[in-house]
Amino acid sequence: MLKDYFPILVMLVMAVGFGVTMIFLSSIAGRKRPTATKESPYECGSIPVGTARIRFDVKFYLVAILFILFDLEVVFLWPWAVLFIERLGLFGLVEVAIFVGILLVGFVYAWRKGALEWQ
Protein backbone atom coordinates (compact mmCIF):
# COMPACT_ATOMS: atom_id res chain seq x y z
CA MET A 1 0.00 0.00 0.00
CA LEU A 2 2.67 2.48 1.03
CA LYS A 3 4.74 1.37 -1.96
CA ASP A 4 2.13 2.93 -4.25
CA TYR A 5 2.95 6.32 -2.84
CA PHE A 6 6.71 6.00 -3.49
CA PRO A 7 6.61 7.68 -6.96
CA ILE A 8 4.78 10.62 -5.38
CA LEU A 9 7.54 10.91 -2.77
CA VAL A 10 10.19 10.88 -5.52
CA MET A 11 8.23 13.55 -7.40
CA LEU A 12 7.96 15.66 -4.25
CA VAL A 13 11.69 15.43 -3.50
CA MET A 14 12.59 16.28 -7.11
CA ALA A 15 10.20 19.24 -7.26
CA VAL A 16 11.37 20.75 -3.98
CA GLY A 17 15.01 20.03 -4.85
CA PHE A 18 14.69 21.66 -8.26
CA GLY A 19 13.07 24.78 -6.83
CA VAL A 20 15.60 25.16 -4.01
CA THR A 21 18.55 24.56 -6.38
CA MET A 22 17.35 27.20 -8.84
CA ILE A 23 16.79 29.85 -6.19
CA PHE A 24 20.17 29.06 -4.62
CA LEU A 25 21.98 29.18 -7.97
CA SER A 26 20.43 32.46 -9.03
CA SER A 27 21.19 34.05 -5.65
CA ILE A 28 24.93 33.31 -5.98
CA ALA A 29 25.38 33.57 -9.75
CA GLY A 30 22.87 36.27 -10.76
CA ARG A 31 23.55 40.02 -10.96
CA LYS A 32 21.53 42.25 -8.63
CA ARG A 33 20.52 45.80 -9.55
CA PRO A 34 17.45 46.47 -7.39
CA THR A 35 15.07 49.35 -8.18
CA ALA A 36 11.89 50.38 -6.40
CA THR A 37 9.73 48.73 -9.04
CA LYS A 38 11.65 45.49 -8.94
CA GLU A 39 11.45 45.34 -5.15
CA SER A 40 7.67 45.77 -5.01
CA PRO A 41 5.45 42.69 -4.58
CA TYR A 42 4.46 41.00 -7.84
CA GLU A 43 0.79 41.55 -8.80
CA CYS A 44 0.47 40.26 -12.36
CA GLY A 45 1.31 43.63 -13.85
CA SER A 46 -1.13 45.85 -12.00
CA ILE A 47 -0.12 48.38 -9.35
CA PRO A 48 -0.01 46.49 -6.04
CA VAL A 49 -0.97 49.33 -3.66
CA GLY A 50 -4.07 51.54 -3.97
CA THR A 51 -7.83 51.23 -4.08
CA ALA A 52 -9.24 47.89 -5.18
CA ARG A 53 -12.19 49.59 -6.91
CA ILE A 54 -10.49 50.29 -10.19
CA ARG A 55 -11.90 49.72 -13.66
CA PHE A 56 -10.50 46.76 -15.48
CA ASP A 57 -9.94 46.87 -19.19
CA VAL A 58 -12.70 44.92 -20.92
CA LYS A 59 -9.97 43.22 -22.97
CA PHE A 60 -9.13 41.07 -19.94
CA TYR A 61 -12.63 39.62 -20.23
CA LEU A 62 -12.01 38.48 -23.78
CA VAL A 63 -8.71 36.90 -22.81
CA ALA A 64 -10.39 35.16 -19.88
CA ILE A 65 -13.09 33.72 -22.14
CA LEU A 66 -10.54 32.46 -24.66
CA PHE A 67 -8.58 31.00 -21.78
CA ILE A 68 -11.61 29.04 -20.55
CA LEU A 69 -12.14 27.74 -24.06
CA PHE A 70 -8.69 26.18 -24.26
CA ASP A 71 -8.60 25.20 -20.62
CA LEU A 72 -11.71 23.11 -21.17
CA GLU A 73 -10.30 21.70 -24.35
CA VAL A 74 -7.38 20.28 -22.35
CA VAL A 75 -9.75 19.00 -19.67
CA PHE A 76 -11.50 16.94 -22.34
CA LEU A 77 -8.38 15.96 -24.26
CA TRP A 78 -6.58 14.58 -21.20
CA PRO A 79 -8.95 11.67 -20.42
CA TRP A 80 -9.22 11.01 -24.13
CA ALA A 81 -5.42 10.77 -24.47
CA VAL A 82 -5.20 8.43 -21.46
CA LEU A 83 -7.81 6.01 -22.81
CA PHE A 84 -7.09 6.45 -26.50
CA ILE A 85 -4.98 3.31 -27.24
CA GLU A 86 -6.79 0.87 -24.97
CA ARG A 87 -10.43 1.79 -25.40
CA LEU A 88 -11.41 4.48 -27.86
CA GLY A 89 -9.60 3.71 -31.11
CA LEU A 90 -10.79 5.17 -34.39
CA PHE A 91 -14.18 6.17 -33.00
CA GLY A 92 -12.50 8.24 -30.30
CA LEU A 93 -10.19 9.82 -32.85
CA VAL A 94 -13.12 10.91 -35.03
CA GLU A 95 -15.04 12.22 -32.02
CA VAL A 96 -12.11 14.24 -30.75
CA ALA A 97 -11.36 15.54 -34.24
CA ILE A 98 -14.94 16.89 -34.43
CA PHE A 99 -14.58 18.42 -30.98
CA VAL A 100 -11.25 20.09 -31.78
CA GLY A 101 -12.58 21.12 -35.18
CA ILE A 102 -15.49 23.02 -33.61
CA LEU A 103 -13.12 24.72 -31.16
CA LEU A 104 -10.75 25.53 -34.00
CA VAL A 105 -13.48 27.30 -35.97
CA GLY A 106 -14.25 29.35 -32.88
CA PHE A 107 -10.59 30.12 -32.34
CA VAL A 108 -9.96 31.18 -35.94
CA TYR A 109 -13.12 33.28 -35.78
CA ALA A 110 -11.92 35.07 -32.64
CA TRP A 111 -8.49 35.54 -34.19
CA ARG A 112 -9.77 36.94 -37.48
CA LYS A 113 -12.18 39.24 -35.65
CA GLY A 114 -9.20 40.73 -33.80
CA ALA A 115 -9.88 39.29 -30.36
CA LEU A 116 -6.16 38.61 -29.90
CA GLU A 117 -5.04 42.17 -30.66
CA TRP A 118 -4.31 44.28 -27.60
CA GLN A 119 -5.14 47.62 -29.18
Give contact residues for other proteins (rule: CB under 8 A).
90-91, 102, 105-106, 108-109, 112-113
Q: Kindly report the CA angle at 36 between 35 and 39, in degrees rounded to 5?
A: 85
**In angstroms, rounded to a whole number, what is the distance separating the alpha carbons of residues 37 and 44?**
13
**In angstroms, rounded to a whole number, what is the distance separating the alpha carbons of residues 65 and 107?**
11
Q: Shortest Cβ distance from residue 58 to other proteins (Å)?
A: 12
Q: Shortest Cβ distance from residue 109 to other proteins (Å)?
A: 5
Among 103, 45, 116, residue whose Cα is nearest residue 77:
103
Q: Shortest Cβ distance from residue 115 to other proteins (Å)?
A: 12
